[in-house]
Amino acid sequence: MTQNDMPSICDYEGSNYRTDFWEGRGRDYEDRVERVAIRRLLPKSGKRLLEIGSAFGRLTNEYAGYEQVILLDYSFSQLQYAQEHYGRDKRFIYVAANAYQLPLKAGVCDGATIIRVLHHMQDVPKIFAEVRRILAPNGTFLLEFANKRHIKAMVRYALRRQDWNPYDLTPVEFVELNFDFHPRYIAQELQKVGFSTKKRLPVSFFRLGALKKLPTNLLVGLDATLQHTPFFYTPSIFTLNIANSSGENALSANTPESLFRCPETGEDLVREGDTMVARKSSLRYAIRDGIYDFKAPIE
């Protein structure tokens, strides 16, 4: 993929996403019901999990059963927040990179997550293809996406208060780089790249300001119960997807450097001091403060 056809990227670099959106912002309900869904769907243990769009690591502690977790985000500053919290333990690998060009070799992970991130993705097929590439055969992909066919959208469309059709399969960009997706569209695109969807959960039944005035414990308990229903008209849907049995298995890679490839050329990298170097092309990428920075080659 060349820079000319690279999809646009939603960049949180330098933002106060952690404090402006999550901490102390009345989103305990959303945070807790998402954790309920993760615990129900994700395998309890594994070798290596890639968390795409980890930001400051809000959900990273849910992956305690994995031997290694790769926190990947386009924002270097968000990864710094995560590193401050989780430290430089070898169990955590911090990677600043473009998710459309994952700097990882094929088959190095047996788990991957995209949660609260896909709604910023302009090219879903490219993202799904990259996730499938880095997963070993039968690897697990836990996906959350913003549902286009939710109750509020259907009501507004029926009352002619919105132009876009919640029943149409085409993703809708309702604000720049903010997309909602039809569940059938997501299922089709996952299948095309080699995933089978094993389970789906509707999540965030009570994501309305008036309802969130009720006790959080009550809302979380009700949401946890309703997640077992086939009522897929919530603003958020979680899906558990399994990679098919083809492809490479490189789970035996045992050093951080052995996991990486050049995101632009696909060639292997070697470490030289605080840089990762591609031997043939001589492209170089910095390692800054313990964070692998693959956003762009250095001069």
* Calpha distance 249→105 (Å, rounded): 10
pLDDT in the model for residue 4? 56
Q: If one looks up domain 3-254 in CATH, what number appears?
A: 3.40.50.150
Name the nearest CA neighbour of 12 among 81, 86, 115. 81
pLDDT in the model for residue 2? 52
pTM comes to 0.95
- pLDDT per residue, tens digit, the chain (299 aa), is 555 578 999 889 888 888 888 888 889 999 999 999 999 999 999 999 999 999 999 999 999 999 999 999 999 999 999 999 999 988 999 999 999 999 999 999 999 999 999 999 999 999 999 999 999 999 999 999 999 999 999 999 999 999 999 999 999 999 999 999 999 999 999 999 999 999 999 999 999 888 888 999 999 999 999 999 999 999 999 999 999 999 999 999 989 899 999 999 999 999 999 999 998 999 999 999 999 999 999 97
* Calpha distance 138→196 (Å, rounded): 10
pLDDT in the model for residue 44? 95
196, amino acid identity:
S
* Calpha distance 36→171 (Å, rounded): 27
